[in-house]
Amino acid sequence: MIATVRRRFVIAAVSLIWIVAVAATGAFAGDHASNDWRARVSEELPLLGHRNWIAVVDSAYPLQTSSGIETVETGSDQLEVVRQVLEELSKAKHVRPVIFTDAELKVVPESDAKGVTAYREALSKLIGKMEAQSLPHEEIISKLDEAGKTFHILVLKTKLTIPYTSVFIRLYFCNGTADAEKRLRQAMAAR
């Protein structure tokens, strides 16, 4: 009887230690991951500036290996992540977003990617009148890869499975515009 009690105690203790160890490694990170990305954005945004990027990507987006690119699994809905990131950026006084989307998104047919039409409409409403550009997917990935050699890129990976739905946000200094930058460069050249 005492041996049986000891055996059960040992099994229970080992099981508890295993559960604590697995939880500490993040193996049960489903809901945990979806909360960590919000904290990560809040923590990193004050550090990010002109030429940094935040990318909200679909689940098939590749893990890039440039040293400055950090990928975080959100476990969340893509539009929710885009909305949260844009909300945080709207509060930032030091940077403003310049949004890029995949050019392919405009022509992906509903028959090949169920839900793409609704996604396009929802994303359009979410972005609203913000400055947005559409470039081929490979061109945007190349821009991130190149920028990641010098600047920090935060990639937030979502659970969306519709292709070409990633939203790429290049941060630009808040009061700067392309016209202002052009005038500044012209003034410098004239010296």
d(CA 106, CA 101): 9
| Tens place of pLDDT per residue across the chain (191 aa) | 665 555 555 454 444 444 434 444 444 433 345 468 999 999 999 999 999 999 999 999 999 888 899 999 999 999 999 999 999 999 999 999 999 999 999 999 999 999 999 999 999 999 998 878 999 999 999 999 899 999 999 999 999 999 999 999 999 887 656 677 778 778 888 88
Q: Where are the beta strands (DSSP E) in the chain?
A: 53-57, 69-73, 95-102, 132-135, 153-157, 167-173
Domain regions of the chain by residue span: 30-190
> What is the reported pTM?
0.76
Dihedral of the alpha carbons of 3, 4, 8, 11, in degrees to the nearest 10: 60
Domain 30-190 in CATH 3.40.1650.10 = yes
d(CA 114, CA 189): 52
For residue 169, the surrounding DSSP H or E stretch is: strand 167-173
d(CA 47, CA 124): 28
Phi and psi of 132, rounded to 5°?
Answer: -140, 145
d(CA 78, CA 46): 23
d(CA 151, CA 76): 26
CB-based contact 58:166 (threshold 8 Å): yes
pLDDT score at 18:
43
Closest by CA position to 48, among listed 173, 191, 190: 173
Dihedral of the alpha carbons of 82, 83, 88, 91, in degrees to the nearest 10: 130
d(CA 1, CA 132): 73
pLDDT score at 1:
60
Phi and psi of 65, rounded to 5°?
Answer: -110, 5
